[in-house]
Chains A and B, each alone.
Chain A
Amino acid sequence: MIALQSVSKHFQHRGKPVAALANVTLDIAKGDFVAIIGPSGSGKSTFLHLVGGMLSPTEGKVRIENDSLYDLTSDQRSALRKKKIGFVFQTFNLVPYLTALENVQVPLVLAGLAEEEQQRRAESLLGRVGLSDRLDHKPSELSVGQQQRVALARMLANDPALILADEPTGNLDPETSASIMDFLVELNGEGRTIVMVTHDLRVAGRAKRALRLVNGSIQADGQARPMPGTSASPAEQTALSIN
């Protein structure tokens, strides 16, 4: 599904180069659920934006299925995101002046769906995340948990095969976090590939595998390292071993 080949990303900070990603080579298979963990500034978000086609690498290639992302034009990458990728943000990034229903409709508007179809699909998705009674509420009239669920519904609007989640539970209480993670696991169970960056090891533990990103490098060869003699899932074992 996703293939990174010798990907590096350098930024300039006060005239000096800073390596956000350094020679990362990684394969993520279709249907995988990968947690990228690491401390702040380790390059997690850079990694996610790079995979999402929003940040070109300094070196290397990023492939989504058969498309070499950065051999496409900016508008072609936008079209690919619209078709195949769903984003979940830590701060939800809902449009503040639109209702929950309209927020979910945004990707459908961009996809050029008819208004009736947009409305039907948005209502269905909000029903799926348990917000059928909050269709006309603006983000400011919803709790943070509800806002993230609207964001999840919006992310699902175009039925993406790949979900990129940037600290999806970063602003949530433990109980709401758990329900959001349940939902992501459920989506992964439907065959969607999920790449999630987080600094929360418990959240990372819900993924199928976890990769540790330190100073722009994936530790080991990008594979999960199960801890022998434990009953924890491979991701939880990796998380614990990193910890």
Chain B
Amino acid sequence: MKLQTLVWREIFERKNQLATSFLAILLGVSVIVAMKNITFYSEKAVAYQLDALGANILVLPKSASLQDYYSADMQNDEFPEEYVKRLTTSDLQGLDNLSPKFSIPVEVTGRRYILTGILPKNEFQAKAAWQSVSIFTRPEACGVAVDVPGLAAPAKEPLVRKRVVQTLGTNEVLIGADMATALKLTEGGTIQLMGRSFKVSAVLPQTGTVDDARAFTHLHTVQQMAGKGAVVNAIEIVGCCQQISQGLVQKINQLLPDAKVATITQIVDTQIKTNRMMSRLSLLFLTIIVLVGGASIANYMFANVFERRREIGTLMALGAGSHVVLRMFLLKAVWLGLAGGVGGYVLGSAMAAILGPRVAGVPVFPMLTPLFWAVGVAVLVCVVATFLPARRAARLDPSAALQEI
């Protein structure tokens, strides 16, 4: 037999008395685990949605009105292309992908389309000064493409998804899906735009937006065709959500005071609000588990010590030192914490999997990390709450304990 056997036997002997404390820990831990789990997948889903949407910050001319997010770059006014350089050489954190645009209307076989000039990624990389910033490095968990199990994978074409393309020649065009269908264009074909011949290097997939009626070519080609010099009328930015919440938009505004900076505030705000709410609720439940769970355990342990006075006195008479008695109660606390932590993790993960799709509208799957977290918190709460009763037991006067009963 080991001391632990004695602890185990006592736990099972008086399991009904222990049930309330165990339940307090179990429920507290399970709610926290469920919330953490749902929050994690909710954040992933929002990040995925933002990523699928593409750019989430727009830099527009000051006079611009923002009626439709996808056609926001079609403004009559413009601003210098030099703004792009200002952004890339600034010390702003959280700028992910960046795409300057200049759009002009074009007519093909009697129909109006939009010809949009974009700057391919390789031209950003070719400029040494622009490489000093983290554009295109896509920091971890920051506006990145996220694969969320159960959700459809985002489109792979980088222009649709990331608002950039790797390379684009000055006489190459990418054609939107509707435009390609209407003009019967396929990859490798040619098209005349404003008297200039372009090679169709790709037909873009359907997006359901105004982009489907666009043709994309090199920015500098469009600037030449418009005859307006080095200007653009929009810069699309994929900003990191975390940095957006920390005031990225305001910082861009300060950097480019003559431009208008807009963001998909509704989506970002929703995420921020959800995160804040979950964070506060997690903190609340952590407080509850510490206070209610801890108080319940401390109360139970004090009662347990009182009830076992004769047993403790007998053990002391048989030669048990104070450290043995202390260890007996702390071992019991550790087992209670382990059981509450593991049980809470299992119950919390199940709750998250069941309630996640209903509460947050996202599929939720069990994660391993909260297990360690749950067990750690539960054991810590149990041990701390048990320490005073255990110390009282260890300091019990064996003579008084044996005589008074």
Contacts and interface: CB of A to CB of B under 8 A. Distances in A.
A241 B321 CA distance: 42
Nearest to A154: B318
A200 B25 CA distance: 52
Nearest to A78: B321
Chain A interface main SS type = helix
A110 B2 contact: no
Contacts of A75: 321-323
B161 interface: no
Contacts of A119: 1
A93 B311 CA distance: 7
A55 B399 contact: yes
**Interface size class, chain B:** 20 to 34
Interface stretch (A29-37, A63-71, A82-90, A186-194): A82-90
A111 B324 CA distance: 11
A49 B403 contact: yes
Contacts of A49: 398-399, 402-403
A95 interface: yes
Given A49-B399, A102-B1, A109-B3, A97 B319 contact: no
A54 B399 contact: yes
B13 A106 contact: no
Given A75-B323, A102-B5, A118-B1, A89 B318 contact: no
Chain B interface main SS type = helix
A5 interface: no
B317 A81 contact: yes
B315 interface: yes
29 contacts: A49-B402, A52-B317, A54-B317, A54-B399, A54-B402, A75-B321, A78-B319, A79-B319, A79-B321, A81-B317, A81-B318, A82-B319, A82-B320, A87-B314, A91-B405, A93-B311, A93-B314, A93-B402, A95-B311, A95-B314, A96-B13, A105-B1, A106-B1, A106-B6, A108-B1, A110-B324, A115-B2, A154-B318, A158-B319
Interface of B: 1-3, 5-6, 9-10, 12-13, 310-311, 313-324, 397-399, 402-403, 405
Interface of A: 45-46, 49, 52, 54-55, 74-75, 78-79, 81-83, 87, 89, 91, 93, 95-98, 102, 105-111, 115, 118-119, 154, 158
The 8 closest A-B pairs by CB, nearest first: A82-B319, A97-B13, A55-B399, A49-B399, A93-B314, A78-B321, A75-B321, A54-B399
